[in-house]
Amino acid sequence: MNSSIKKQIWLSILIVTTFTSLLFISFTYYMYEKLYIEKQVEALQLQGVQLKDMYYETSLETFSQQLKVLDESLESSIIYTDDPMLLGSGSPVHMFEGQNLISFQERQQLLEGETVQIVRLHERLNQEILAVVVPLLSQDQLVGAIFLYLPLEAISNVFQPIRLVLYVGIPIAIIIVLLAGFTISNYVTKPILDIKNVTEKMAKGDYSSRIKVKRENELSHLALSINKLSYTLEKVEEERRGFLANVSHELRTPLSYMKGYTEGFEEGLVDREKYILTVQKEVDRMERLVHNLLDLAQLEGDSYPIEFHPLVLSELIVDVVSRLEWVANEKNVSFEHTLNEEIIVFADRDRLDQVLTNIVQNAITYSKQFSSIFIELTTNNGKANIIIRDEGIGIPEKDLPHIMERFYRVNKARTRADGGTGLGLAIAEQIIKKHQGSINIHSKINEGTTVTISLPIFELE
C-alpha cells in the first residue's frame, strides 16, 4: 500500500513537472514566435510606411541621404531601389549579389501595390532574415521599392537570457521538485505506514500499539479513531480473558466440591444424605450460573425476550417487598416505603421483578441487624424514580465504578458464603437499559447504599 501511494505521488509530481516545463517552454516559444516577431514585423511595416511617406514628401537626393542616416541608426537594414525588378532577378546591393530577394509571386504583389512580408534564409549570411518590402508607386506604376530587413539571429539574441534560464533553471527546478516530492511523499505516507503497521498488529490480536499523532489533519483524525478502536478492543480482550477466568473459577469450585464429596462418599467418609445435599446444592449453583450467563448474553444482544405492557410500579414494588419480607425479618430488618401509586411505566413485569428482587436481596444481605430499608417511588422530569436505600455496610468508593461489571465482587471472599454468581447487577443494568432507563448506585462505608432506578413514564393518550 505504502509503495503504491509513493509511486502515485512520484508519478503525479513527474506529470506535473513535465507538464509545467512543457507549458513554460511553449509559452516562451509563443512569446518569441507570436509576440516578439510580430512586433518586429509591425515595426518594420511602420518604418516602411514612414519611409514611403518620406519618399513622396522629399526630393530623391534628400531621401537618399536620410536613408543612409537611418540605415546606420536603426537595428534594421534598409535597401532602396528604383528598379524593383532587380529584387527578383538580382540584388541591387553587393551583399545580396546573386540572390533573388523576392519571388515572382511577391513581385506581382508589389506591382499591385501590396506590402510584402518575407521570412527567408540568407545564403551568404547562412541565417534567416525577416524582411518587409514596401512598393513605391507613381500614377499606379511601380517606380521603386524599399526593402527593410532584420536578421532573425538578432531577434533570437534578445531571448538568449531566457534560454539560459530555461537550460539552467529547469534542471535545477526539476531537482528541487523531486527533492520536495521525496519529502512530501514521506510526509504523506509515513502516517499511512504507521496506521498500516498498527492495524496489522490489531489483526493478529495485539491491541497494545498506538499511532503517534503529531499534526492535525484528516489522517490524524483517522489515527485517533484507530487508537480509540485499539484501546476499546484491548479492554474488550481484557474483559474476555477476565470473563473466561471467572467462569472457569465459578465452574471449577462446585466441580471440586462435587469431586471431593464423591471421593469421600466412595471411601465411606461422607454419609449418603450429606453427599446428596451437597451435590444438589452445587448443581443448583452451576445451573444458576449457566442461566445467568445465558441471560446476560441475550441481554447484550437482541435476542432477550421482553414483553412490554403498561405496569403500575407501586404494585410491583409491594409484591417484591412482600415476597422478601420474611428474609428481612430473619435479620430484624424492616421496610419503609413511600410510593406514588399513580405512576405507570411501559415495561416487562417479570424482568423488572427480577431487577428489584436482586437489588432488594442485596440490600437485605448487607444491611445491619435492626436497621431499615427505605423504598421511595417518585417522578422527576418525566421519569419514574425507584430509590432503594439501606443502612448497611456500604461499598468502598474505589469499587463503585466497577460494581456493575460481570463477576465483580467487593468482598472477594464472599463467593462460597453467599452463593452469588457476581452477575446479578450486570444483568439488572442490561434489563434497565432495554427499558430505556438507567441505574445509579451511591454508597458510603458504614452508612449504607442508595440505588436509583429511572424509567420513562408511560403517558396515557
Instruction: Tell me how far apart the alpha carbons of residues 264 and 271 are, in angstroms, rounded to a whole number.
Output: 9
Whether the Cβ atoms of residue 339 and residue 387 lie closer than 8 Å to each other? no
The enclosing H or E element of 439 equals strand 438-444
Whether the Cβ atoms of residue 113 and residue 137 lie closer than 8 Å to each other? yes
- 413 phi and psi angles, rounded to 5 deg: -95, 5
Instruction: Tell me how far apart the alpha carbons of residues 265 and 406 are, in angstroms, rounded to a whole number.
Output: 35
pLDDT in tens, 338-397: 999 889 999 988 889 988 988 998 899 888 888 999 999 999 888 999 999 998 888 888
pLDDT of residue 24: 74
Whether the Cβ atoms of residue 87 and residue 100 lie closer than 8 Å to each other? yes
Instruction: Tell me how far apart the alpha carbons of residues 125 and 173 are, in angstroms, rounded to a whole number.
Output: 37
**Cα angle: 345, vertex 298, 449; to 5 degrees:** 55
Instruction: Tell me how far apart the alpha carbons of residues 457 and 461 are, in angstroms, rounded to a whole number.
Output: 12
| 379: number of Cβ within 10 Å | 12
Written as one letter, the residue type at 258 is M
pLDDT of residue 390: 92
**Cα angle: 43, vertex 47, 48; to 5 degrees:** 115
pLDDT of residue 303: 63
Pairing of strands 372-380, 438-444: unpaired
> Is the domain 207-304 a CATH 1.10.287.130 member?
yes
Q: Give the three cell numbers for residue 87.
A: 529584387
pLDDT in tens, 385-412: 999 999 888 888 888 887 877 766 666 5
pLDDT of residue 193: 79
Instruction: Tell me how far apart the alpha carbons of residues 377 and 171 are, in angstroms, rounded to a whole number.
Output: 84
**Cα angle: 11, vertex 8, 2; to 5 degrees:** 140
Instruction: Tell me how far apart the alpha carbons of residues 73 and 75 are, in angstroms, rounded to a whole number.
Output: 7
Q: Output the furthest CA–CA distance in the chain (Å, rounded).
A: 156
Pairing of strands 116-122, 127-138: antiparallel
Instruction: Tell me how far apart the alpha carbons of residues 187 and 13 are, in angstroms, rounded to a whole number.
Output: 14
Beta-bridge partners for 456: 383
Task: From 220, 197, 217, 189, select the one nearest 7 (Cα to Cα).
Answer: 189
Q: pTM of the predicted model, to two decimals?
A: 0.49
User: Which segments in the chain show pLDDT lower than 50?
Assistant: 1-2, 93-94, 414-417, 419
Q: Give the three cell numbers for residue 14.
A: 513527474
For the segment(s) 309-456, the CATH number from 3.40.50.261, 3.40.50.2300, 3.10.20.90, 3.30.565.10 is 3.30.565.10
Q: What is the CA radius of gyration of the chain?
A: 52
Task: From 207, 226, 210, select the one nearest 218 (Cα to Cα).
Answer: 226
Instruction: Tell me how far apart the alpha carbons of residues 408 and 421 are, in angstroms, rounded to a whole number.
Output: 9
Instruction: Tell me how far apart the alpha carbons of residues 309 and 319 are, in angstroms, rounded to a whole number.
Output: 17
pLDDT in tens, 297-338: 676 666 667 788 899 999 999 999 998 888 888 889 999 989
pLDDT of residue 410: 67
Domain boundaries, the chain: 2-161, 207-304, 309-456
Task: From 405, 338, 330, 400, select the one nearest 365 (Cα to Cα).
Answer: 330
Assign a CATH topology to domain 2-161.
Beta-Lactamase (3.30.450)
| 255: number of Cβ within 10 Å | 12
Which residues does 93 contact at the CB level (< 8 Å), separation at least 6? 79
Give percent helix, percent strand, percent coil of the chain, each to the nearest 5.
Answer: 60, 20, 25
| 89: number of Cβ within 10 Å | 12
Written as one letter, the residue type at 23 is L
The enclosing H or E element of 173 equals helix 170-203
